[in-house]
Each structure stands twice: as C-alpha cells, then as structure tokens.
C-alpha cells in the first residue's frame, strides 16, 4: 500500500469515529463548513456582479 491510500483510510476512520462518538459536534462542524462555502460562493457572485455592472 502506498502512503496516500493509508492516509486516506486513516482520515475516513477518524471521521467515522468522530461522527459516531460525537454526532452533535460533527453536525456543527458540517454546518460550519457549509456556511463557509456558502459565504465564499456569495462573495464570488457579488464580485462578478460588480465586475460586469461596470
């Protein structure tokens, strides 16, 4: 096995452990990530609108 595959499985195992041992915190983390992605997308949209409204 190469190192990339080992690290990938380790991350997956950690995420599953985190999900099952602390589901409330896991959902908070996911909600925070989604909120950050939404904010980034809104910022890009605002930038593009301002750019082309010239």
Given the structure tokens 């909120």, which residue do they identify?
35
Question: What string of pLDDT tens digits covers the 54 residues of the chain?
Answer: 699 999 999 999 999 999 999 999 999 999 999 999 999 999 999 999 999 996
Provide the pLDDT for residue 17.
93
Contacting residues for 25 by C-beta, under 8 A, at least 6 apart:
18
Does the predicted TM-score (pTM) go above 0.85? Answer: no
């Amino acid at each position: 096995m190469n190192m990339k595959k080992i690290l990938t499985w380790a991350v997956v195992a950690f995420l599953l452990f985190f999900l099952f041992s602390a589901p409330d915190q896991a959902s908070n983390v996911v909600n925070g990530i989604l909120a950050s992605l939404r904010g980034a997308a809104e910022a890009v949209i605002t930038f593009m609108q301002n750019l082309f409204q010239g």
